[in-house]
Amino acid sequence: MREMKTVTLLGANGTMGAGSAAILASFGGMKVHMLARTVEKAQEGIDKAVASVRSGIIKDRMIPGTYDDLEKCVAESDWVFELVAENYETKLPINERIAKSRRPGTLVSTVSSGLSIEKLASVFDEDGKKHYYGTHFFNPPYKLVLCELITHPANDPAYTKELGRYLEETLVRHVIYCNDRPGFAGNRIGFQFMNEAAIFAEKNQDRGGIYWIDQMLSGYTGRAMSPLATADLVGLDVHKAIVDNIYEFTKDAAHETFKLPAYMQKLIDKGQLGNKSGKGLYMREKNAEGRTVVKVYNIAKDEYEAAPQLDLSFKKQAAAFIQEANYRGYADHLKNAPGADADLVRYFIGRYISYSLSLVPDVTDVAGADGAMGFGFNWVPASAWIDLLGGVDETKRFIEKTGLAVPDHMKSLSGKSVYSLKGKLDFRQLFRAS
């Protein structure tokens, strides 16, 4: 693999572009051509990159430019790092321009979160295809160290291994290897969970809808943020793009859970996209005293209202076990507590384990699925849940009781402990007593 001295970054002004540039310039020590629509936008990206690492040292390594400079910059680069808009209509013409200017051996990669890498590589010659990859960093990349390295049939396995080692050892990424499948690993697993949570919210409006789902699947179930609050953070339009792509191009056992609920489409049509628009599944507004008040969307009424009063006794007991670091007590409570709240949590934990392992080996391996969720989403990985619930046999029974299928790969596992990231990630730190 060629020594990485110069990189051209396309899409420099966005949050992901700036964050990625900071990684390339600081850890990689590279000169970075920061290209955007205007020099001013590129300079904004440089300023964001410098701020993200809180060091001015990298500033001198970054050169602002526009897409008019693409051919010149690509010709002198060892790596072309593309982060333009997430659609083929934008990416393929850009790749055609890159293909005409890149030198043999130059690495070209996209930060696409789910488009076909093979299709994006199709405009390159044989050498270009060989050196074209998906390098899906997670946002913000300086805090979330995951990189999904996505391969396609034209890649050279030896070069792939060298690239993976460079990403790990020099750029300090946690690399997982993924096949070229819609959504790859992280988004395939994470957005399945989030979209099915949205579906359940509509079915259970009488129990509290969106608010009930998020309260029941909050930090005490092993995630940084509740699933529907996460959808608001990501943006409902982005959520739609991801689940629509997976729904169209996959046909697995969870296929129908990727179908966007009609009420989410209604919110998108009204421009109520989540945090970035001020309204989505939740709404934040100032009251008369100037304090921020959060209201939740009532799906049946098509309006925002104060969060409903809920009996949170199941959650509070589970969170208390987490607070005490009593994980055996937590697991027993999760498995045996009666009531609708416990049933919901059991179903979603069972689904999460089952669906994660169902992607092995077609999308990635167990360590890949675990790394995607642990390092990319800050969620307790699936194989950690197997250990927590008492081992493979106990978890199989747990899944079967929810009415879900035990995935084929899990049938080949045995033992009390199968966690794949031992020594790399203490999954207990991903539980929150909230």
pLDDT for residue 112 is more than 90: yes
The span from the CA of 205 to the CA of 78, in Å, is 54
Task: Specify whether the CB–CB gap between 113 and 372 falls below 8 A.
Answer: no
pLDDT for residue 158 is more than 80: yes
For residue 275, is it within any domain? Answer: no
Lowest mean pLDDT among 49-63, 67-81, 85-99, 304-318: 49-63
Q: What is the reported pLDDT for 14? A: 87
Same domain, yes or no: 347 and 216: yes
Same domain, yes or no: 358 and 334: yes
Which H helix or E strand runs over 328? helix 327-336
225-242 average pLDDT score:
96
Q: Which domain-ending residue is among 178, 212, 247?
A: 178
222-250 average pLDDT score:
96
247-272 average pLDDT score:
97
For residue 170, is it within any domain? Answer: yes
Task: Specify whether the CB–CB gap between 274 and 232 falls below 8 A.
Answer: yes
Q: What is the reported pLDDT for 49? A: 93
Find how far residue 371's CA is from the centre of its chain.
11
350-377 average pLDDT score:
98
Is 320 buried (19+), middle (13-18) or exposed (0-12) by CB count in 10 A? Answer: middle
Lowest mean pLDDT among 49-53, 98-102, 321-325, 346-350: 49-53
Q: How confident is the model at residue 292 (pLDDT cuts 50, 70, 90)?
A: confident
Same domain, yes or no: 332 and 389: yes
Q: What is the reported pLDDT for 287? A: 82
The span from the CA of 134 to the CA of 170, in Å, is 18
For residue 63, is it within any domain? Answer: yes
Task: Specify whether the CB–CB gap between 152 and 109 falls below 8 A.
Answer: no
363-375 average pLDDT score:
98
Terminal Cα distance for the chain, rounded: 47
Beta strands across the sheet bearing 292-298: 282-286, 292-298, 303-305
pLDDT for residue 288 is more than 90: no
Q: What is the reported pLDDT for 322? A: 97
Q: How confident is the model at residue 296 (pLDDT cuts 50, 70, 90)?
A: very high
Same domain, yes or no: 153 and 192: no
333-350 average pLDDT score:
98
For residue 59, is it within any domain? Answer: yes
Same domain, yes or no: 161 and 197: no
For residue 391, give both structure tokens: 């081992």
Q: What is the reported pLDDT for 434? A: 87
Task: Specify whether the CB–CB gap between 389 and 335 falls below 8 A.
Answer: yes
For residue 353, is it within any domain? Answer: yes
Quote the number of domains for the chain. 2
Same domain, yes or no: 157 and 212: no
pLDDT for residue 55 is more than 80: no
Task: Specify whether the CB–CB gap between 305 and 203 falls below 8 A.
Answer: no
Q: What is the reported pLDDT for 291? A: 87
What secondary structure letter does DSSP report for 341? H
For residue 285, is it within any domain? Answer: no
* Amino acid at site 148: E
Q: Which residues contact 130 (CB under 8 A, 6 or more apart)?
A: 154, 155, 156, 159
Q: Closest Cα partner for 312 from 349, 348, 337?
A: 337
Same domain, yes or no: 383 and 338: yes
Q: What is the reported pLDDT for 302? A: 96
Q: How confident is the model at residue 246 (pLDDT cuts 50, 70, 90)?
A: very high
Domain holding 366, by residue range, is 186-227+237-257+310-430
The CA–CA distances, whole Å, from 395 to 192, 252, 367 equal 20, 21, 18
pLDDT for residue 56 is more than 80: no
Same domain, yes or no: 173 and 106: yes
Same domain, yes or no: 172 and 216: no
Q: What is the pLDDT of residues 129-156, one digit of tens each?
A: 999 999 999 988 988 999 999 999 999 9
CATH code assigned at 412:
1.10.1040
What is the model's pTM? 0.94
pLDDT for residue 256 is more than 80: yes
The CA–CA distances, whole Å, from 79 to 33, 42, 215 equal 10, 18, 44
The span from the CA of 75 to the CA of 317, in Å, is 61
Lowest mean pLDDT among 18-27, 46-55, 133-142: 46-55
DSSP character string of 52-77: HHT-GGGGGGEEEEEGGGHHHHHHT-
Q: How confident is the model at residue 117 (pLDDT cuts 50, 70, 90)?
A: very high
Which H helix or E strand runs over 295? strand 292-298
92-101 average pLDDT score:
98
Is 402 buried (19+), middle (13-18) or exposed (0-12) by CB count in 10 A? Answer: middle
Same domain, yes or no: 110 and 241: no
For residue 24, is it within any domain? Answer: yes
For residue 301, is it within any domain? Answer: no
Does residue 293 come out as left (phi exceeding 0), alpha (psi in the -120 to 50 range) or beta?
beta
Same domain, yes or no: 164 and 219: no
Residue whose entry in the numeric block shows the structure tokens 């590589």 = 121
For residue 251, give both structure tokens: 């046909």
CATH code assigned at 136:
3.40.50.720
More confident: 55 or 218: 218
pLDDT for residue 54 is more than 80: no
Q: Closest Cα partner for 187 from 136, 233, 143?
A: 136
Q: Which residues contact 100 (CB under 8 A, 6 or more apart)?
A: 71
Task: Specify whether the CB–CB gap between 163 and 151 falls below 8 A.
Answer: no
Same domain, yes or no: 174 and 192: no
